[in-house]
Structure 1
Amino acid sequence: MLPASQPPSDATFVVLGLGPVGICALVALQSFNPKNVFVIDSVESRLELAASLGAQPLNFVSHFGGIGGIKKHIQDATEGRGADVVVEIVGSSNALRFAYDLVRPWGGISSIGVHNAELPFSGAEMYAKNLKLQFGRCPVRSVYDEALELLKSHHQKLSFLTNNFMDLSDAVVAYEKFDKAEVQKVIFRF
């Protein structure tokens, strides 16, 4: 997503959504040693985990007066440019629009969230900012070796993925806990 001439160490990334996929994306981004990584969510425990991994957490409900204040904060941190790349993991039109509002001209949006609605911006808006937009699931086979090496070197940062075990008969309770953001991930025992 970055121009070939821009090293990741000079880049500002934003991750929208800090569920398990968002935290994994954060760990992967941090391996490039970027200048800034902002993470945006409303669940304090997720933001605390992201901060412990080196990100700059922003609560879109309570920080800087909400979404507009967060946009200004990122603009100020990048000398008015905006984020170089926004990784949108929420899967909602509002989050995708927020990604558009945060990304700088000639930047990129990578949408990992699963969308089922109309895009919240027009082709003319994309053209005006000269943006790159990428949608889709991970091409596992083509990144497997690299992802495995990343997992080996950062496995201690991902312990949250394996710290909640429940019996399959407790699936309803597990989903309720996840919905309330009381757990990041649950592994079912059969």
Structure 2
Amino acid sequence: MSSSKFLVNGPRPLVLCGPSGSGKSTLLKRLFDEFPYTFGFSISHTTRAPRANELNGVHYHFVDHQTMKEKIANDEFIETAVFSGNTYGTSKAAVRDIQQAGKVCILDIEPQGVEQIKKTDMNPILVFNNPPTIKDLEIRLRKRQSETEETLQKRLAAAVDEIAYGLKAGNFHKIINNIDIDDSYIEFRDFVVDELKKQEAKGVTIRWEQ
């Protein structure tokens, strides 16, 4: 991918990776609630159909396969990944919009995307959110009632590979073992804030308030 040179100004982006159902959304919601002016979420593009509670431009940018192919061919993405027959991608424009607002860009991406971003000059802070067990993950996904049995089994199979990748030494700067959500959030928040303070010490401006 020719996006290896994507020099960013301002704070380092924050990448949060982990299996679907591992609690990433809860961690991020609490982070945004506590620091409403500091972070901005990069909304990904996807070719999958929206779920019942999902809105276009809020949860994802929902596009058809042909549009996605054209955008990839035009080098509009920093990273892309394929899961269960659908393509997901982080657009350069989405990240730039957040940076231009003076915020820390947060990306929720798959291991495929993490590997691609590592090859850019974005220098992200990399965090892996590890669920207690695969069984716990299955229970959480079933409670959503948003999956068919086929897609659920695909997600669980993918989760095994994601966890193996996430726990491999050197792939992430921080691993959150998300057993208790309250404890996990404190650990996650404290790590992120500490990393941002280190950047401030080097002269990078971090937006904490309005």
Asked if TM exceeds 0.5, the reply is: no
Which one has more relative contact order, counting CA pairs under 8 Å at least 6 apart?
2
So what's the TM-score if we normalise by structure 2? 0.37
So what's the TM-score if we normalise by structure 1? 0.39
